[in-house]
Amino acid sequence: MPLYRVENLDFSYGEDPVLKGINLTIEEGDFVGILGPNGSGKSTLLKVMSGLLQPKKGRVFLGENEVHKIPPGERARQLGVVPQETYLDFPFMLEEVVAMGRYPHLGWWGNLRYKDMEIVEEALSTTGLLELRHRSIHQLSGGERQRGIIARALAQNPRVLLLDEPVSNLDIKYQQGIFELLLKLNRREGLTIILISHDLNLASQYCKDLILLDRGQLKAKGSSEEVLTPENISQVYQVEVDVEKWSPLEKPRINLRPPKEENKTQKGEEAWKIHLVGGGGSAWRLLKRLNAAGHDLTIGVVNEGDTDSEGARELKIPCVREIPFNHISGEKLDQALEMMLKADLVVVTEVPFGRGNIGNLEMALRALKKGKKVFVIEGENMENRDFTGGEALKIWEEMKENGARDISPRELEQILKEGA
């Protein structure tokens, strides 16, 4: 029989549903991480599972019984809960706080027997707090206090530990300390652990199974490989991420991608596919601005290692590159032309043309003749940046005849914004 069985759970505080149709089973000895954005219902799910809240619909079983129907004393012998916040206004000693974990096992006056004191001592030593036992709770650091609360839950001798963001206020040393402690308890004592985490990488690293919540619904459950996919994360958290296999543990690791600012979500309306012809840094500023505006960019052909090439690499923009100081090869030009034809729009930046890169301009002309829209930035200056003895100027004249427009960068952005 599974330790936990959640069947068709619905919950709401008022009218708005917080949890919808959750189905789950958790086995004895599992180490489960509950993930999801703020407001996705993680804490609520944990509160229902701890018996604090009663399901609106559906049932949550702990063993054979519905968890909220188990009397509090009996429940406290099975479940240890580490809430997000604990009030510690009264200056109890750490040892006294941990000993409170024994209360569900004690009589009405709460007298500790020898066995209870041993268990308290063990909980203190497991959490590395033995030396601080006589300190007032107010004299402890945040990490020590959190370990104290975990020690209190351990002193309950529970079958399962529920933790709501146990490390959210702690520095990385304590984060690791607490997760290592939980892992040890899980492996050595077979204690079932269910925790909420905002840190996807920590959860991936330590939890055996993950549960991903999205607006009150179960989006995914399973191993970290199954749950932490770029698709799941972008759908649930609405951020773009790269997921890599992190070699020391062979676990997925998540890296945030820099955001493509405002237009990313409404791509269909305002984002354009644009191919830039640049080189020598002439396209770099435009590249950054258009990328930030959410447009879909390609660039080429540019020389390997120049500013435009490196900029494209940094922004992860597809780019055709050629070895420096060579004539651009036909093969690369074909690739660039292919990009141009896929784009809605070709923009030739204010690049000087010489023998080496005149091919780029020729390709722009060919794209134009095939019906592509082509803009040339500051075309009237072509005379000054023609180092081919008039050839570039000639192509530019032909382009103008075929409808290429001469514009400034500002005009270009205006046109893109208006969608003309």
What residues line the site for another protein (CB under 8 A)?
50-52, 71-77, 79-81, 83, 85-93, 96-97, 100-101, 103-104, 106, 108-110, 152-153, 156
Q: Would residue 325 be called left, alpha or beta, if left means φ above 0 and alpha means ψ between -120 and 50 degrees? A: left
Amino acid at 7: E
Closest separation between CB of residue 76 and another protein, Å?
3
Closest separation between CB of residue 87 and another protein, Å?
4
Shorter beta-carbon distance to another protein: residue 68 or 198: 68
Residues 6+ apart with CB under 8 A from 88: 97, 137, 138, 145
With beta carbons less than 8 A apart as the criterion, state whether 151 and 126 touch.
Answer: yes
Closest separation between CB of residue 93 and another protein, Å?
8
Shorter beta-carbon distance to another protein: residue 103 or 387: 103
Closest separation between CB of residue 100 and another protein, Å?
6
Residues in the chain: 420
Residues 6+ apart with CB under 8 A from 413: 289, 290, 293
With beta carbons less than 8 A apart as the criterion, state whether 357 and 279 touch.
Answer: yes
Give CA separation, 38 vs 21, 146, 207, 231, 416, in Å. 19, 22, 20, 19, 35
CA geometry: angle 193, 198, 201, nearest 5 deg: 80
Residues 6+ apart with CB under 8 A from 372: 340, 341, 343, 345, 346
Closest separation between CB of residue 41 and another protein, Å?
18
With beta carbons less than 8 A apart as the criterion, state whether 340 and 375 touch.
Answer: no
Q: If 0-12 CB within 10 Å is exposed, 13-18 middle and 19+ buried, where does residue 101 land?
A: buried
Q: What angle, rounded to 10 degrees, do the helices at 114-126 and 142-155 form?
A: 140
Taking alpha carbons only, the member of 253, 241, 243, 49 closest to residue 162 is 49
With beta carbons less than 8 A apart as the criterion, state whether 329 and 388 touch.
Answer: no
